[in-house]
Structure 1
Amino acid sequence: MQVAAGGTRAVALVLLLGALRAAPARGEENDYLGRQADAVNGRASSKLPRCVDIPADLQLCHNVGYKRMRLPNLLEHESLAEVRQHSRSWLPLLDRHCHFDTQIFLCSLFAPVCFDRPLYPCRSLCEAVRAGCGPLMEAYGFPWPEMLNCNKFPLSDDLCITLQFGQPAPSGPPVTKICIQCEKEQGTDGLMEQMCASDFVIKMRIKEIKRENGDLKLTGVQKNKKLLKSGGLDRKDIKALALYVKNGASCLCPQLDSLAGSFLVMGRKVSGQLLLVGVYRWDRTNKEMKFAVKYMFSYPCSFHYPSLYGVTEPH
């Protein structure tokens, strides 16, 4: 089930139909449905599956190459409202292009193609996407979620969706690559979405930077800190203010080439460690930065949970 690298990102229906040649006979369908649902999610939905149009506002999958999807989907979302809510959080990961088949993999679960029996992604597809996108998620303290545990998916010699583009997962970043956390978002919305994804936002001066266990450790100057958003921070965190750029020892952060002046830093507290999500040189003449800081608490965060730069399981 592969297409050329220059082909569409979508799952081609003709490929899926070809895979169904090995599907169980109709008389075996109930057992097959039960086995697959139990294998991936531990339980089957109480609702009978039905076909619905993929709505235009389901941004993750509206251009996936087919127009109808199954409900409940393969993640046990029983309504389009649920699918919309949870799929939104994966859009930034898709935009990062961490693997060619990210959309194929995610949409096979969020908006499975509407056949009379479920078609799951192969374990090899899951593993390839995890290899490409997992490091990106890990950089922000998000583990690969249990709901996407690759061991739950069928082997490639079973009926399942395989790699579509046949491309290997991207290799590790070269030392000349810009750190993910140091890539600049353009525009007010980008800044605000980063703020939504962060536990804390601080205007601060940076005293020193050093490498530590493959990460970059940023130590803040004790004075002149301004907490703009302090979620998750306790008194000890604020006093010490040590921030980590995960895996930052092997990439570059141009914003930190000079430590003169103040910085706007955003991050998350993960297992007691403060991980950097974004860093900007403070610029009082930057209207977009000024606007974002002023209206950060009134901005309608579009994500259900903080996953702009990674993904965790919904609560």
Structure 2
Amino acid sequence: MGGRSISRKTCWNFYTAFLPLSIGLVACCAAMELDESSWQADSRFYIKPPHCVDIPFALRLCNNVGYHKMSLPNLLDHETMEEVQQQASSWVPLLNKNCHPNTKLFLCSLYAPICLDRPIYPCRSLCTAVRDACTPVMEFFGFPWPDMLKCDKFPLDNDLCIALPNPNATQSTSSQELDVCPPCDNEMNTDIILDHLCASEFALKMKIKEVKKENGDRKIIPQKKKKPLKLGPLKKKDLKKLTLYIKNGADCPCHQLDNLNSNFLIMGRKVNKQNLLTVIHRWDKKSKEVKKAVKKMKTHVCPTFQGVFK
């Protein structure tokens, strides 16, 4: 019994100090037997005993997280890897926005928890820091912070939990403080374009007639001609009078809109009867990434994750 406690403590100290970079942690924990009974954490129980599995490359949210094996079921009660990948994929576009340096640490501690002899949850302070920094960015896309990640569900810092590595790393951000409006800050990369396609409800190739500021938002009025790449909830008749908005985007820069003499690849979501712009790229005919992305759009199968954001 004493040897087991020391082993757990040694492994945990290593985990909290070096989680983002550690590769050797798995070796530290491999010798510890998993308890065959259900796990308990803060009065939560798992119906099935967990088992260790490799983190697949397809789980893009947790690529290069610093360890190679995770427990399944995870800490969000996902019992299959398919379910984990479907639900985790909804967060990949947010991860690309770098709203907080510990977003991956927080999310992967839940979606792909490291194999230990008991579940270790993120501390409430880690959840709060990520939530406060990322919620303003999520609001641009019409997404709330989901109920399944309410921070008061997680243990206080004086309990055994994953703490915030640097409490002063990032404060919450307002639209006035953003260097670029989040829908305008996107890398021209095929995989990232497809990630955003899956997180958006519609995608169009179009030209823009006019841009205005309205009630703290930026209002975008397209020209008549539009090529639908993904319609989602839109119907072809809706395209004639389509108006787009960058939510809370009146004051943050969007350099793509400085010169409207171009075609644009735009994506969006319908939220409360408004069509919110989620992504905008200049349609560069010479861009190999745009060509590859548009070609893949025809056959790309998006995961389903309706249960995440409610």
TM-score by length of 2: 0.77
Aligned to 2:188: 186
Could you give the per-residue CA deviations for residues 257-281 of structure 1, whole angstroms, max 9, x where no partner exists? 1223433321111221101122233
Distance, in Å, in 2 between the alignment partners of 1:264 and 1:114 is 42
Deviation of 1:56 after TM superposition, in Å, equals 4.8
Q: 1:257 aligned to 2:258?
A: yes
Aligned to 1:78: 79
Deviation of 1:171 after TM superposition, in Å, equals 4.3
The within-5 A match list for 1:1-315 is 9-10=20-21, 33=40, 35-37=42-44, 44-50=45-51, 52-57=52-57, 58-61=59-62, 63-172=64-173, 174=176, 177-221=179-223, 223-234=224-235, 237-301=238-302, 303-305=303-305, 313=308
Deviation of 1:67 after TM superposition, in Å, equals 4.8
TM-score by length of 1: 0.76
Could you give the per-residue CA deviations for residues 24-83 of structure 1, whole angstroms, max 9, x where no partner exists? xx9xx97x817432xxxxxx4321234x14435344445444454333221112233433
Could you give the per-residue CA deviations for residues 235-258 of structure 1, whole angstroms, max 9, x where no partner exists? 674333110112212211111112
Q: Per the alignment, do residues 276 and 108 of structure 1 end up closer, same or farther by CA in structure 2, a change over 3 Å counting?
A: same
Deviation of 1:7 after TM superposition, in Å, equals 6.8
1:225 aligned partner, one-letter code: K
Distance, in Å, in 2 between the alignment partners of 1:182 and 1:34 is 41
Local SS of the residue matching 2:245: strand
Question: Do the aligned partners of 1:122 and 1:162 also contact (CA within 8 Å) in 2?
Answer: yes
Deviation of 1:11 after TM superposition, in Å, equals 7.8
1:73 aligned partner, one-letter code: N
Distance, in Å, in 2 between the alignment partners of 1:175 and 1:159 is 35
Aligned to 2:3: none
Q: Per the alignment, do residues 236 and 2 of structure 1 end up closer, same or farther by CA in structure 2, a change over 3 Å counting?
A: farther
Question: Do the aligned partners of 2:126 and 2:162 also contact (CA within 8 Å) in 1?
Answer: yes
Distance, in Å, in 2 between the alignment partners of 1:289 and 1:62 is 24
Local SS of the residue matching 1:128: helix
1:33 aligned partner, one-letter code: Q
Q: Per the alignment, do residues 155 and 281 of structure 1 end up closer, same or farther by CA in structure 2, a change over 3 Å counting?
A: same
Q: Per the alignment, do residues 196 and 62 of structure 1 end up closer, same or farther by CA in structure 2, a change over 3 Å counting?
A: closer
Q: How many residues align?
A: 286
Question: Do the aligned partners of 2:92 and 2:195 also contact (CA within 8 Å) in 1?
Answer: no
Distance, in Å, in 2 between the alignment partners of 1:61 and 1:224 is 40
Question: Do the aligned partners of 2:126 and 2:164 also contact (CA within 8 Å) in 1?
Answer: yes
Distance, in Å, in 2 between the alignment partners of 1:93 and 1:145 is 13
Distance, in Å, in 2 between the alignment partners of 1:69 and 1:203 is 40
Aligned to 1:41: none
Aligned to 1:23: none
Could you give the per-residue CA deviations for residues 195-243 of structure 1, whole angstroms, max 9, x where no partner exists? 333222223332321212221111223x323333221114674333110
Distance, in Å, in 1 between the alignment partners of 2:160 and 2:19 is 22
Structure 1: runs of 5+ lacking an equivalent: 18-25, 38-43, 307-311
Report the aligned-residue RMSD.
Answer: 3.5
Question: Do the aligned partners of 1:175 and 1:252 also contact (CA within 8 Å) in 2?
Answer: no
